[in-house]
Amino acid sequence: MAWRDAMCGELRAEDAGRRVTVAGWTDTRRDHGGLVFVDLRDHTGKVQLVINPEHSAAAAETAHEIRNEFVLQATGEVVARAPELVNPNLSTGQIEVRVDELRILSRSTPLPFQLDEENVEETLRLRYRWLDMRTERMQRNLRLNHTAITAIRRVMDERGFVDVWTPTMTRGTPEGARDFLTPVRLQPGKFYALAQSPQLFKQLCMVGGIDRYYQIATCWRDEDLRADRQFEFRQLDLEMAFVEREDVLDVMEACVVGAFEAAGAEPPQRPFPHLTYADAMLRYGSDKPDLRFGLEIQDATEVTRGSEFGVFKNAPCVRYVVVPRTFSRSEQARLEEVAKEWGAKGLANLTQISKFLSEQELQAFGVEEGSTALFVADEEAVAARVLGLLRLHLAHELALIDTSLDAFHWVTDFPLFEHSEEYGGWTFMHHPFTASVPGEEERIEADPEHVLGQHYDLIWNGWELGSGSIRIHEAQVQQAVFRVMGMDEEEQRDKFGFLLDALQMGAPPHGGFAMGIDRFIALLAREPDIRQVTAFPKIASGADPLTGAPTPYPDSALKELGIRLLGPQLE
């Protein structure tokens, strides 16, 4: 006999009279001495079972043993409920199953938390994830994950993309994070890095003539864990040959819209708006601005250049935001405190400094009654960053964000290089394989500070969903970028000899993108972090509460790998 021939949540009034077998978990059980009611649950929903000793003495006896989360198999007739017993809150609320055969397929020890309990501590949820996965929330999220990925795969397939599997264990890929290392027993002292992304392999696919590559690729990056970051995560990774930037953006937009449609959500309008990096930094103080609200940053540097107010006059950059409300002295002091924590020297409120300003300055700021202008005077990067953070902080505090909006947009035209505090030289902004804007190749070495790259980011409500670029496909240009980054010929050959060789053997122009699938799904599911859409995530310390990993290994195992631990061993 089949384990089941009907799903709990799918039985309706029309099924009355049918004899069915259902199987699932005990959601609740109400024992009225004689009659026992069980809400039986599978992923489609719940159905009420009625076990009456008058119908089956054996079933009634079994029913008294049932506890929450026992797995049951029940057979009986679907019967319509009396009108006064109809439960309008349940999709199956018009019927119940009058059980005459009942089997306990599996029992459960007392539960560490109830499935309908609110605010269960997250580590406990993760420790017993198999229970947590039975909740409606996790069922919905994991199934949404599947729906969205299936839709994306369909888009990729329709557009001729080929799913190519690339190695996990590889050489370090420069994506800006630390590598996870894997020692190699057969070559003690040497390590594979777990791929931070398939970046170079997908470029090699282009050289190899797979001109539309994609993969839902797992990537590993050793970074601190946050709401939108786990050590391992998945990317929709794609690469295309013989394309312009717009072709790549078009595919990505189609994937986003396809996933929205499959999830039954209202898709964002295409094409997504574009914002240049320079504009984003100026107006929003961030390269991933949340565009669901205004509070745009204004620049006052020109107007305040000749100011009587010393703080303005001497600052390389003066910027401000206008907030549609006034602040008390203590509120202002608190905001200033926060701004200082972000690195500002101060946060000037126009009302407090207006006596130092000229009529012309006041007019230029044009602040209406009931609004407040807050200024930062500092280096440009500090003014942008602090006001960008302040903008977000105030939007949350003052509930200025329209959470019903989905603001997707592209940020484009990033600088190719940024100055590295760590190395004191130039480093890549995206990764070293990004091409400059066409025609700017000469400036790569001549003027690295100002050369723009063909790099683009996709932003959704202030979350960076992913990045991509048009790549360098000429070895000599690639070498120029490496030189700007301070790599001599020997280091270039050592680290990237295979890439330089490939670029010299017929590399087509190409470009691509990678989108963090887990971030995307978390936002699609309206969840605050990616752990809620990941089956078995790790917690902030990097531990897995379920398996207890990571764990120490005995010295004998380490010795085989040529490894000896330094210092006191951590538990």
* Size of site (CB under 6 A) for ligand ASP: 9
Beta strands 162-163 and 212-220, pairing class: parallel
Binding mask 511-540 toward ligand ASP (x if CB under 6 A, else -) reads: -xxx--------------------------
Nearer to ligand ASP, 370 or 438 (CB): 438
DSSP H helices, 414-488, are 443-446, 475-484
Q: How far is the CB of 516 from ligand ASP (least distance, A)?
A: 9
What is the Cα–Cα distance from 553 to 25, expressed in whole angstroms?
38
Q: What is the DSSP string of 356-371?
A: GS-HHHHHHH-PPTT-
Single out the segment in contact with ligand ASP by CB under 6 A; choices: 82-90, 343-351, 496-504, 510-518. Answer: 510-518
Interface segment toward ligand ASP; rule CB under 6 A; list 83-91, 152-160, 439-447, 509-517: 509-517
Q: Please identify, using beta-carbon distances, which residue of 161 and 513 lies nearer to ligand ASP.
A: 513
Least distance between ligand ASP and beta carbon 145 (Å): 20
By C-beta, is 460 or 513 nearer to ligand ASP? 513
- By CB under 6 A, which span of 261-269, 324-332, 342-350, 506-514 interacts with ligand ASP? 506-514
DSSP string, 117-175: -SS--HHHHHHTHHHHTTSHHHHHHHHHHHHHHHHHHHHHHHTT-EE----SEES---S
Complex with ligand ASP: residue 457 or 529, whichever CB lies closer: 457
CA proximity to 482, closest of 445, 438, 440: 445
Query: CB of residue 430 vs ligand ASP: minimum separation in angstroms?
Result: 6
Among 62, 469, 532, 534, binds ligand ASP (CB under 6 A): 469
CA of residue 364 relative to chain centroid, distance = 40
Residue 454 and residue 243 in contact, taking contact as beta carbons nearer than 8 Å = no
Q: How far is the CB of 466 from ligand ASP (least distance, A)?
A: 7
Interface with ligand ASP by CB under 6 A: which range of 310-318, 332-340, 466-474, 480-488? Answer: 466-474
DSSP state of 223: -
Pick 15 or 413: Cβ nearer ligand ASP: 413
Selected range binding ligand ASP among 112-120, 206-214, 465-473, 499-507, rule: CB under 6 A: 465-473
**DSSP codes joined into one string, 288-354:** S--TTS---EEE-HHHHTT-SSHHHHT-SEEEEEEESS---HHHHHHHHHHHHHTT-S--EEHHHHG
Least Cβ distance, residue 514 to ligand ASP (angstroms): 3
- The CA-CA-CA angle for residues 112, 26, 13, to 5°, reads 145
Smallest distance, ligand ASP to C-beta of residue 457, A: 9
158-177 residues in contact with ligand ASP (CB under 6 A) are 175
| Residue 263, amino acid | A
Q: Which is nearest to 70 in space by CA: 111, 13, 101?
A: 111
Q: Which C-beta is closer to ligand ASP: that of 252 or that of 376? A: 252
For the chain, state the CA radius of gyration.
30
Structure tokens at 328: 């008390």
- For CA atoms 228, 231, 232, 238, the dihedral sign is positive
Nearest distance, CB of residue 504 and ligand ASP, angstroms: 22
**Among 75, 230, 298, 467, contact with ligand ASP (rule: CB under 6 A):** 467
Contact flag: residue 436 with ligand ASP (CB under 6 A): no
* Shortest Å, Cβ 200 to ligand ASP: 9
The minimum distance between CB 384 and ligand ASP, in angstroms, equals 23
Q: Go through the chain and tell me how many residues it has.
A: 571
Of residues 104 and 210, the one with the C-beta less far from ligand ASP: 210
Q: Which stretch binds ligand ASP (CB under 6 A): 105-113, 141-149, 252-260, 463-471?
A: 463-471
Q: Smallest distance from the beta carbon of 467 to ligand ASP, in angstroms?
A: 4
The DSSP secondary structure of 54-123, one letter per residue, reads TT-HHHHHHHTT--TT-EEEEEEEEEEPPGGG--TTSTTTTEEEEEEEEEEEE--PPPSS-TT-SS--HH
One character per residue 196-235, x = contact with ligand ASP (rule: CB under 6 A) = -x-x------------------------------------
Residue 233 CB, nearest distance to ligand ASP (Å)? 10
Least separation in angstroms between residue 59's CB and ligand ASP is 57
Residue 84: Cβ-neighbour burial (10 angstroms; 0-12, 13-18, 19+): exposed
468 binds ligand ASP (CB under 6 A): yes
Q: Which residue, 257 or 429, is less far from ligand ASP as judged by CB?
A: 429
Angle between helices 245-262 and 136-158 (to 10 degrees): 140
Enumerate binding residues for ligand ASP (CB under 6 A): 175, 197, 199, 467-469, 512-514
